[in-house]
Amino acid sequence: MNSSSPPGAEISMNRQLALQIINAAIEVHRQLGPGLLESVHLEVLLKKGVLRVANSSPTSQDVREPL
């Protein structure tokens, strides 16, 4: 965030990003149903482009970050 941004702008952007991720996760749940492992949901969110791998050489322990 640059210094000319209003004080609440970063929080607002984080909130919007969180809502996008939550909405995408809910949609995955609706389409695929309950009871799936977190790894399945994560893989779908990665393929939908909602999240990306934070490291260029992905492992199961990589931190995923929103796009």
- Mean pLDDT, consecutive 10-residue stretches, the chain (67 aa), reads 64 84 88 86 84 60 53
d(CA 57, CA 41): 20
pLDDT at 7: 67
pLDDT at 64: 54
pLDDT at 66: 55
pTM listed for this prediction: 0.59
pLDDT at 42: 84
